[in-house]
Structure 1
Amino acid sequence: MTRLQAVFWDVDGTLADTELNGHRPAFNRAFQDCGLSWHWDEQTYCELLSIPGGKQRVLSYAKRQEMVVDPALLERIRQSKQQHYLNFVSSGAVSLRPGVKRLLMELARADVQQWIVTSSGESSVKSLLQSFQADLQGIFRGMVTSDAVNRHKPFPDPYTLALHRSGADPEAVVVCEDSMPGLQSALAAGLRCLLTPSPWDRELEHCRHQAHAVVDHLGEADQPTVILAGPPCAQRRITLEYLQLLLSVPLR
């Protein structure tokens, strides 16, 4: 059987609950700083999350408002939002999803490569990583962020680049994702995908069957995983053994 060589992790909604408690309020503070009357409530933000990347969301929302955002204003929003996001992360407002730390540590002990592959900017990702506990520092071999590719998820480019940089065999990689664009990106790159769906991504209801496994979360001893699709999980937690099992599931 092929040995698991690498796990590619999405960030927002997969590693941590960053969207509603981190990025959304940070955007709203940035809009105030830049003299904009915009306010993204949870419903509006959940709708915008179908668009990968903060810059693209701002431009899409501006178009709805029949407003043109010039590059200088866009950069001011980006810088302000990043600072507010860092403040929210540092305050502990953003937490890892259940089972994430446990699985990160298990994979590290087994010397499985772990990479971040995200549509977020590098500075946002680094801010989140710096908030992790000391035993998680340096756990990722590298990252592919929105700054590294021209085409973001759902295009395969982020995962194709991660494969190139990691040197991993596509047959020996599992992707952890939470959204429709992420699932599409992983599948387009020819990779197996474990999906932990975010509740805001309603499109997933119609096509999450395309994932190689779907779970509510990765699971803890007191929070067992519910398998929504894919192979059964005897331990009721997603483990290295389960990810290894996914390598035997045919590629979609």
Structure 2
Amino acid sequence: MTLLLLKVNRLSAVFWDVDGTLADTEMDGHRPAFNLAFQELDLPFVWDEALYNRLLAIPGGLRRVKLHAETCGVHLSQNQLDQVRDRKRVHYLERVRQGHVNLRPGVKRLLQELNRAGVQQWIVTSSGLASVMALLEQIQKQIPSFDGVVTSDDVASGKPAPDGYRLALERSGANSAASLAIEDSAAGLSAARAAGLRCLLTPSLWDADALRESGDEAAAVLNHLGDPGQPATVLSGASCQEGAVTLKYLESLLSVPDR
């Protein structure tokens, strides 16, 4: 019995979301990139921070564009949506290369600690591969390499569907009971839980739904992962004595009963 408990409590894999979890990509990355694409394509949309904040409740960038256009009485053809996607991607990649997108607190530190401990680390995101690779190229000197990447290009349905997490579990060979997801959104939390994963939530400032829905679903909720001089605040779940999420803290979450 004791041996089994030790095996369950040893962390096998961590699956990282990207946008809002790994890095602050939304407000200074994706949002201005969309605005530049709209301008180039003569579309009558400008997404300020307040509006984009509300639109982030809609998972998926193109779905966000399509639904927002419809509320404005504008029907976009599939060709127009494809053009938005392509031009937005160009501008987003350029903003990443210019250094507008930064890692969230504690991410670099935790990535390095898990890498030293031999824990598998995968990316599972609803973003496209090109956007993810651009970010990884920009930050690759700061962080260890990931063991694998699952993007929207790999699955039929993005978050809140669990497809991405299920594929990552299959490819990694990791045991879901010995693995964790790190997310920032309500959609990501739902996707991870539907795939049978416990989830540590570090909500984005703009995702109020994540905080509302996390109480019965997340293993723990913190404002960020914590760094020296920038301690994390626990909003729900087990206390984080060191003010930073560590391997030891993550392994303690594996023992949190499913609710």
Q: TM-score, normalised to structure 2's length? A: 0.94
Q: How do 1:1-252 residues align onto structure 2 when only pairs under 5 Å count?
A: 1=6, 2=8, 3-136=10-143, 139-209=145-215, 210-252=217-259
Quote the offset at 1:87 in angstroms: 1.1
Equivalent residues of 2:202, 2:222 under 8 A apart: yes
Equivalent residues of 2:176, 2:197 under 8 A apart: yes
Alpha-carbon separation, structure 1, partners of 2:140 and 2:178: 28
The one-letter amino acid of 2:123's match is I
Alpha-carbon separation, structure 2, partners of 1:99 and 1:225: 9
The one-letter amino acid of 2:100's match is A
Listed one character per residue, the Cα deviations across residues 152-209 of structure 1 (whole Å, up to 9, x for unaligned) are: 1111111111111111000011110001001111111111000001121122232211
Alpha-carbon separation, structure 2, partners of 1:233 and 1:56: 37
Alpha-carbon separation, structure 2, partners of 1:199 and 1:183: 15
The one-letter amino acid of 1:238's match is V
Listed one character per residue, the Cα deviations across residues 6-44 of structure 1 (whole Å, up to 9, x for unaligned) are: 000001110011000100000000111111121011111
The one-letter amino acid of 1:215's match is L
Alpha-carbon separation, structure 2, partners of 1:236 and 1:105: 17
Alpha-carbon separation, structure 2, partners of 1:227 and 1:30: 38
The one-letter amino acid of 1:144's match is V
Equivalent residues of 2:226, 2:232 under 8 A apart: yes
Alpha-carbon separation, structure 1, partners of 2:251 and 2:88: 39
Equivalent residues of 2:108, 2:142 under 8 A apart: no
SS at match of 2:182: strand
The one-letter amino acid of 2:34's match is F
Listed one character per residue, the Cα deviations across residues 189-237 of structure 1 (whole Å, up to 9, x for unaligned) are: 1110000011211222322112100111100111011111111122111
Equivalent residues of 2:128, 2:153 under 8 A apart: yes
Alpha-carbon separation, structure 2, partners of 1:92 and 1:40: 21
Alpha-carbon separation, structure 1, partners of 2:183 and 2:84: 27
**Which consecutive segments of 4 or more residues in structure 1 shift more than 3 A?**
none
Q: Any stretches of 5+ residues in structure 2 without a counterpart? A: 1-5
Q: Any stretches of 5+ residues in structure 1 without a counterpart? A: none
Deviates further, 119-128 or 204-213 = 204-213
Aligned length: 251
Identity of aligned residues (%): 55
Quote the offset at 1:114 in angstroms: 0.6
Quote the offset at 1:133 in angstroms: 4.1
Alpha-carbon separation, structure 1, partners of 2:82 and 2:160: 24
Deviates further, 23-32 or 157-166 = 157-166
Alpha-carbon separation, structure 2, partners of 1:50 and 1:135: 30
Alpha-carbon separation, structure 2, partners of 1:106 and 1:121: 27
Quote the offset at 1:250 in angstroms: 1.3
Equivalent residues of 2:97, 2:138 under 8 A apart: yes
Equivalent residues of 1:52, 1:153 under 8 A apart: yes
Alpha-carbon separation, structure 2, partners of 1:65 and 1:23: 20
Alpha-carbon separation, structure 2, partners of 1:16 and 1:204: 17
Equivalent residues of 1:53, 1:146 under 8 A apart: no
